[in-house]
Structure 1
């Protein structure tokens, strides 16, 4: 199956051609192994723990009801998982779907200023804006123009905090996180065919059980069905939620995922990634969700070397992740209590270990070449700083600052 839709912008394809669903389905069985399965599970654990708590915190700040909160979680997880399955099978690439974590952080302060229905209307508009940008073909042209070292430096800076979690988690929880770290090193030396993350996960869970790290007493299960909400449109929500959210989806999540995939040698379908992120934003808005789009950190986990040496088979990790991620959304009302029971330091440790390969590759490609050194440096430090301007997070400003620095200090590199 091949789909190539052209835009009016010099025949730039909106939906880039991929191998197709038939080939993806046919090869899945041979590509599914211990490495891809483990990477998919680790990505799902990461996506269903800390980020879920961020959404629940934003909902609490906005004084949302339990029904509104559960519907929000259902939409971003179910449709985010569906994006993983669709793009994973069609492109046979580890392109993961989820939602904008910086967007959820931004909503923690924005939701109290508007009614819930006004927020729903703003989510809808943000999805439309992202979709239009995808159809224009501009995103693909812009991302291909930005020098690779600057993109890689942005990835290194944005993901560096995950690497730091290896140290901070071991310090905060020396028994649980320390056991997981020791298992990683031992597993790597004993058998390189099986991802050492698997041993970290198993040993970490056992250590948490033995030390009482799980807070089972807080688990209370009650089934709540997702609901559909009518949007209300206001200028305040347009400028306060819709515009920043659209920029975050493109400038933070999609840009990170594009850079990560490029670093691993994939030709990422950036226009299709943008289009499906826009569609995801429109669909989830009716369920009270702020967006379902491409996921930067989970794409990094599933596309890393921890998902196996066979790059053509890493999409299997994305399929595993998509199934688990979507299932979390379907059973959000029952799953959320279990998320709260997981030791946060164990989750942080696993995510940090999964990012090692991505970080090494990003640093190598950012600074190994002789070109764009100043641009890469400024992109790195801006991304690491966590800078937020006009409610737009650091990865976007990292790319802008990196390109400007290179244009000023090393313009000849663009000509070469």
Structure 2
């Protein structure tokens, strides 16, 4: 055989297909799964602690969002053959962390159910784009930034209290951000921090809870008009804007044609199953879908395998919630705050970038941000709701009118 003939060899399509089920799919799926399991569980535990949840209720929450989110990641990619990844809404949990202390547990379950039904209706009626236009995305982003700023600020405080662990994690985060490696900086930072923690922390002296295996149980909902207004509507908005929109956008950016209304509808259905066991949602995940749908995941036709791998890891994390919850509770408080800060660092940056991206909305987003950050409660209505309402009113009736007047001038 001549040297030039090597270029004319054709590999059978069957062999190319099998070769595509390999390292690229697996690595992207593992990275996506780790992203779901590193920072978000810590925020769930904080929200549960704020609401004085029992150990069993906390485990139910952790189990439900990961188990049903994982099933979402397996079923939808297998059916549609596109890399749709499911998880729970980290921004939704961050929002709930400031709510759980104000709302009884059973009313929270009821408000989760209404939120899922709202998402289901938005999908089944094909109202996704119209629903998102009603409240400007910049206002939702500013509300989110206001809610999570305190978490990221506590990251810096935690680094001061744990300089060796925090310094190592920060340095790793910056290096991985600079090198732009396939492993997200958040995962690299958390793993490096864990390694230093293992070498320096006495786990045997930590007094963790010996809960043991807990069988998942249905949680009884209680419906209250006020909590539906203060919890269900903002939670649905956050899931649609911060999870569904980026996830669907990532698929379209990578030349897929996702069934938008079906994805939103199924997000509502899977979330409803998670609600019945104590979780707030199980929906399409934005960042994780972006990871599994990118070019570095391999052949376009086989990228859905990465989503399935991610889903399997997420399911396992949910099944072992009875073990992971006591373990995370046994970690030092400053380290847990550090994990939460890293998990929300990128969310804060993107939220601030989006919220202040329109110069003609400077007043509305600034008011939205500071109201959400104030954590006030007026007439039993929480700060995020006031932030959304105030910001939307200013954006629609002050700044738009001002813009029209400038246009006429």
Partner residue, 1:282: 272
Partner residue, 2:172: 183
Alpha-carbon distance in structure 2 between the residues aligned to 1:270 and 1:147: 20
Contact 2:83/2:304, CA 8 A, preserved across alignment: yes
Contact 1:277/1:291, CA 8 A, preserved across alignment: no
| Within-5 A mapping of 1:197-276 | 197-212=186-201, 214=203, 216-218=206-208, 220=210, 222-228=212-218, 231=220, 237-239=223-225, 241-258=227-244, 272=262, 275-276=265-266
Aligned match for 1:382, one of 371, 374, 380: 371
Stretches of structure 1 lacking an aligned partner (at least 5 in a row):
1-24
SS of the residue 2:163 aligns to: coil
1:327 aligned to 2:316? yes
Alpha-carbon distance in structure 1 between the residues aligned to 2:376 and 2:307: 30
Taking structure 1 as the reference length, the TM-score comes to 0.69
Partner residue, 2:36: 43
How far 1:177 sits from its partner (Å)? Answer: 1.6
> Cα distance 1:44–1:144, how it changes in 2: closer, same or farther (>3 A)?
same
Alpha-carbon distance in structure 2 between the residues aligned to 1:354 and 1:70: 20
Contact 1:55/1:73, CA 8 A, preserved across alignment: no
| Within-5 A mapping of 1:15-414 | 31-32=24-25, 37-38=30-31, 40-55=33-48, 58=51, 60=53, 70-86=59-75, 90=80, 92=83, 96-98=87-89, 100-101=92-93, 102-103=95-96, 106-111=99-104, 124=113, 127-189=116-178, 192-212=181-201, 214=203, 216-218=206-208, 220=210, 222-228=212-218, 231=220, 237-239=223-225, 241-258=227-244, 272=262, 275-287=265-277, 289-294=278-283, 299=285, 302=288, 310=294, 322-353=311-342, 355-388=344-377, 394-411=383-400
Partner residue, 1:7: none
> Cα distance 1:252–1:272, how it changes in 2: closer, same or farther (>3 A)?
same
- Cα deviation per residue 1:340-381 (whole Å; 9 max; x = unaligned)? 123443444345445555544444444344433333333333
How far 1:139 sits from its partner (Å)? Answer: 4.8
> Cα distance 1:263–1:392, how it changes in 2: closer, same or farther (>3 A)?
farther
Partner residue, 1:18: none
Partner residue, 2:300: none
Q: Which has the larger radius of gyration?
A: 2
RMSD (Å), alpha carbons: 4.4
Alpha-carbon distance in structure 1 between the residues aligned to 2:221 and 2:356: 48
Alpha-carbon distance in structure 2 between the residues aligned to 1:49 and 1:409: 40
Contact 2:65/2:87, CA 8 A, preserved across alignment: no
Count of aligned residue pairs for this structure pair: 374
How far 1:204 sits from its partner (Å)? Answer: 0.8
> Cα distance 1:334–1:193, how it changes in 2: closer, same or farther (>3 A)?
closer
- Cα deviation per residue 1:111-146 (whole Å; 9 max; x = unaligned)? 37xxx6x87666555544553454344453131354
SS of the residue 1:409 aligns to: helix
Alpha-carbon distance in structure 2 between the residues aligned to 1:104 and 1:361: 20
Alpha-carbon distance in structure 2 between the residues aligned to 1:350 and 1:291: 21
How far 1:217 sits from its partner (Å)? Answer: 4.4
Contact 2:267/2:283, CA 8 A, preserved across alignment: yes
SS of the residue 2:280 aligns to: coil
- Of residues 132-141 and 203-212 in structure 1, the stretch that sits farther from structure 2 once superposed is 132-141
> Cα distance 1:270–1:157, how it changes in 2: closer, same or farther (>3 A)?
farther
> Cα distance 1:97–1:86, how it changes in 2: closer, same or farther (>3 A)?
farther
